[in-house]
Amino acid sequence: MKSLRDLLNKKNVGKAAEADAKTIESVFFDVLGKELKNVERSDVREVKVKDKKILVRTIHPAVASEIWRKREKIKNKINEELGKETVEVIKAK
């Protein structure tokens, strides 16, 4: 199976690959599932991606706390998966 980075690079040959909000959101949920086994997609109400920031609204403050606690690791894994600095900040409420 090809990685997302390889697919984005082939799609945008000759120019920098720009990931859209849906791609970033998808990678966010993939990384979240790997990093926080107890947090599921249904625990997250809303994910907004804007200007290299991810805002996550959760159903419970404990879930937001878990995401906030691991935000740097999640951010780094998202950027690694996409192959460039796509996310700078993750905020959880």
Mean of the pLDDT values across residues 58-72?
A: 96
Confidence at residue 18, expressed as pLDDT on a 0 to 100 scale: 75
- The separation between CA 68 and the C-alpha centre of its own chain, rounded to angstroms, equals 13
The label of the residue with tokens 């000759």 reads 14
Could you tell me what percent of the chain has a pLDDT over 70? 87
42 vs 75: CA distance, rounded Å: 20
Name the pLDDT band for 69 (thresholds 50, 70, 90): very high
Q: Is the pLDDT of residue 15 over 50?
A: no
CB 74 within 8 A of CB 90: yes
Tens of pLDDT, residues 16-51: 457 899 999 999 999 999 999 999 999 999 999 999
5-10: long-range contacts (C-beta < 8 A, 24 or more apart)?
Answer: 5/81, 5/82, 5/83, 8/82, 8/83, 9/83
